Every structure is written in structure tokens, then in C-alpha cells.
Structure 1
């Protein structure tokens, strides 16, 4: 296990990603965006408030806005950081050299994944001081904050695994990036649209209010799971509509865990091409 996580490939990737000027500029603009949103929200709220202070309900809404913006940034940045890790090596004609080393396929894939998502982990960790603004005004518990960042970590790992999968099985980086963005869009907007359509069509067709199908459609949607963390009433209403009283966060962890495991397994198995013996070689052996 130690050789899988501590190896020359991981060390090289970490140094190249975290020591470049682009990485620090990316973190700077990332934090600046979240900071402008938080400060702008406080300014607008206090300007239109007669009392001149922020109530806990308004602070909770600011936390919701910040969390949804950060989730959108994560869904946008993760494919760009992971969808070219293997196909980029192939385009630079360095993949064959990497495969001739003593590193196993599992070690190479995990190293590429860890080095890619480490930058995103650094970014979301650097945003923690911005969330301290919310705790100054109250309205949000530490448990909600931990659940939110736990959802971020799970989303980054899963989308990153999907990006590495397409980067392994597809030849071109741009194609693998488009495919990864397509999966990310399907898991958010796609499942949301299908859930609304299924609930509306089923209710209008039968007249009943219990339809379990939307539960399985929406359980892999990180945006909806994040909203259920902020608004428990939304979760209760959805449970009444579907008739399934199973925690959404457990379903989310299971579904994303399966996607991550399958993606990594396919990536590891497809990394090294299986060479078939030629017909001439078969004749000589015979």
C-alpha cells in the first residue's frame, strides 16, 4: 500500500502542479471570487436592512449561496484537471516510457488521481477562513459545514475518477474532457431534469403522490444532496413524494462510491494494452 501512494510518479506530479505560478494564481482568483460574493452579499444585505445587521437566517442563506457556487466551481474545474492526465502522456509520447517503469498500473492511476485532486483539496481547504464569516453571524452549525465539505471531497474523487477513465480509454484529451463534462452535467442538470419530469408525468398520469423512481434518479445528484443538508424540509417533502425513507447522503455515498470504483477498475485494466501474438509467431511456435 505504501508503494501505491508514495512513488516517483506521485512525487513528480505533486511538485509540478503545486509549485507552478499558475496554481497559486488559480487559488488566488478562486478565493477572490468567493470573497467578493461573501462581502457583496453582506454589503447588499446591510444596505437594504433598516436594522443594519445580518440575521442568522440571512447568514444561512449566504452560506447556501457560497456552498452552491463552490460546488459549481468544483464541477467545472475537476474535469479540466483530470481528463488529460493519461491522454496527455499519450499525446506527448511519454506514456510508453511511463509503462516501462517498475510502477504498476494501479500505482500510476492512483498517483495521477491523487496529484490531480490534491490541488482541488488545497483550494477547498483554503476557502475555510471565508466560511468563518458565516459563523460570526450564526445560523449554521459546524456539522453542516463538515457535511458540506465531505460532499465536496466525494464529488471531487468521483468526477476525477471519471475523468481519468475517459483519459485512459480515449485517445484525445479534448474528447475525454468533453466526455467528462458531459457526465458531470448528467449527474447535476440531467438527473434534476429527469427527476422533475418523472415526478410530474407520474403524478399527472396516476393521480397518486408516491413514485419511488425519482429517488433513484436524484440520489447521485450532488447539488440536490447539498440542498437537503441545508433544507431538511425539502428532504421530508421528497420522502413523502417517493415513499422511500432512506437517508440521501448514504445513497449518495453508495452511488458515487460505485462510480469511483468502476471507473478506477476500468482505468487500471485498460492502461496497459494487451499485445496479441502475430500469426507468424503462432506458426513458428507450432
Structure 2
């Protein structure tokens, strides 16, 4: 396990990524965007006055918006960092050289993934001082904060695995990026659309058959459970979680479904990437 995680591919990728000027310039613009947002939020809620005050409820609202913004950035930035991990090596004609080394397919894939995840984790950690403003004014528990960052980590690893998989099975980086961003659109928007469509159809059928049946929509609930936006909403607001469970007639926690689904995505995508990495190097018999 140690050789799988701490391997030369990971160390090389970390050095190249963290020494590049564009990485730190991207981090600078990321933090500048968050600072502008937080400053504007404080100015609006204090009514642009030095005598204005900031309530704990306003602090919780800022935490909610920051959490949604962070998740959106994770889903937007991760494909750009992982979708070209293998296809770029293929376009530069350095993949064959990499495959002739003593590194296994697992070490190459995991090293590429962890180097991208490490940079994303650095971005999340760099934004922690901005979150400290939330704790300064109150309204948010440390457990909510820890839970939110745990699901950030689960989500970015899963999205990174999807990007690595498409980067391995496609020959062009642009195709890999389109496929990965298409997957993000599916997880972030189309699943929510499926939820509303499925729930409406199931309620229509229920109303036609019997008026007093208890709602039960497991398929619609599944679509809602795997949506990152719905997850954030239910983690931050117990009322939204209870309302969702009453709508579908299921009391099973949605975060468990989310965790299982995204862990399975990670395992399946990495398995496919590892198996397909050397698929064209097998000798013909």
C-alpha cells in the first residue's frame, strides 16, 4: 500500500504541479474571488455602514453560500486537473516511456489522481481562514464544518477518478474534458431534473390509483441522494432533509446513499483506468 501511494509518479507530479507558476496564480485568483465574495457579503449585510452589525443567522447564511460556492468550484476545477492526466502524456508521446518503467498501472493511475487531489485539497485548506469569519460571528457548529469538508473530499476524489478514467480510455484531451464535464452536468443538474420528473410521475400514478396512499418514491429519492447540491442543502438544513424524506416516504439518510454511490464510482473508474492503461500494449499471439 505504501508503494502504491508514495511512488515516483506521484512525487514527480507533485513537484511539477507545485513548482508551476500557473498553479499558484490559479490559487491566488481562487482566494481573491472568495475574498471579494466574503467582503461583499459583509458589506451588504452591514448595510455599508461602520455602525452595522452582523447576526449569527447572517453568518450561517454566509456559510451556506460559501459551501455551495466551494462545491461548485470543486466540480468545475477537478475535471480540468484530471481529464488530461493520461491523454496529455499520450499526446506528448511520453506515455509509452512511462509504461516501460517499473511502475505498475496502479501506481501510475493513483499517482496521477493523488497529485491532482493534493492541489485541490491545498485550495480548500487555503480558504479556511475565510471560514474562520463564520466562526467569529457564530451560527455554525464545528461538526457541520467538518462534515462539509469530508464530503468535499469524497466528491473531488470521485470526480477526479471519472476524469482519470476518461483520460485513459480516450486519445484526445479535449474529448476527455468534454466527457468529464458532461458527467458533472449529469450529477449536478440532470439528476435533479430526473428527481422532479420521477416524483411528479409517481405522484400522478398514486393519485390516480388511490387518494390516501403514503408517498413512496425510491427511484426519485436515489436521484436526489446523488446530487451534490441536495446533499449540501440537507446537511445544512434539517428542515429540508425532513421535507425531502416526507416527499418520497423514505427515512433512510441521503448522505449514506451519497457516500456509497461516490465510493463505488471511485472504485469502478479507477479499476477501468488501471485495466485500460496498458490495453494496447498486449502482444498479439
Q: Which TM class, normalised by the smaller chain length?
A: over 0.9
User: What displacement does 1:139 show?
Assistant: 0.8
Query: Alignment partner of 1:47: what SS?
Result: coil
Q: In the alignment, what sits opposite 2:77?
A: 77
Say whether the 8 Å CA contact 1:210–1:240 is kept in structure 2.
no
> 5 Å matches for 1:132-151?
132-151=132-151
Using the alignment, how far apart are the partners of 2:122 and 2:283 within structure 1? 43
> 5 Å matches for 1:27-66?
27-47=27-47, 52-66=52-66
User: What displacement does 1:51 show?
Assistant: 7.5
Using the alignment, how far apart are the partners of 1:50 and 1:29 within structure 2? 28
| Divergent runs of 4+, >3 A | 48-51
Q: Deviations over 1:116-148 (max 9, x none)?
A: 111100000111110011111111100000011
Q: Which segment is superposed worse, 65-74 or 241-250?
A: 241-250
> 5 Å matches for 1:12-23?
12-23=12-23
Aligned residue pairs, count: 278
Using the alignment, how far apart are the partners of 2:49 and 2:20 within structure 1? 44
Using the alignment, how far apart are the partners of 1:161 and 1:86 within structure 2? 12
User: What displacement does 1:49 show?
Assistant: 8.7
Query: Alignment partner of 2:28: what SS?
Result: helix
Using the alignment, how far apart are the partners of 1:245 and 1:62 within structure 2? 29
Say whether the 8 Å CA contact 2:216–2:250 is kept in structure 1.
no
Using the alignment, how far apart are the partners of 2:51 and 2:160 within structure 1? 46
Q: In the alignment, what sits opposite 1:230?
A: 236
Say whether the 8 Å CA contact 2:31–2:127 is kept in structure 1.
yes
Q: Are 2:169 and 1:163 equivalent residues in the alignment?
A: no
Q: Deviations over 1:194-218 (max 9, x none)?
A: 1011112222332253322211112
Using the alignment, how far apart are the partners of 2:88 and 2:20 within structure 1? 18
Using the alignment, how far apart are the partners of 2:50 and 2:127 within structure 1? 30
Q: In the alignment, what sits opposite 1:217?
A: 223
> What RMSD, in angstroms, separates the aligned Cα atoms of the two structures?
1.5
Q: Deviations over 1:36-91 (max 9, x none)?
A: 11111110011179972111111111111111111111111000000000000000
Q: Deviations over 1:143-164 (max 9, x none)?
A: 0000111111011100000000
Q: Which segment is superposed worse, 169-178 or 44-53?
A: 44-53
- Which TM-score applies when normalising by structure 1? 0.94
- Which TM-score applies when normalising by structure 2? 0.94
Q: Specify every segment of 5 or more residues in structure 1 that has no aligned partner in the other structure, as ranges.
A: 279-286
Using the alignment, how far apart are the partners of 1:185 and 1:53 within structure 2? 39
Using the alignment, how far apart are the partners of 1:6 and 1:50 within structure 2? 52
Q: Which segment is superposed worse, 172-181 or 47-56?
A: 47-56
Q: In the alignment, what sits opposite 1:185?
A: 185
Query: Alignment partner of 1:36: what SS?
Result: helix
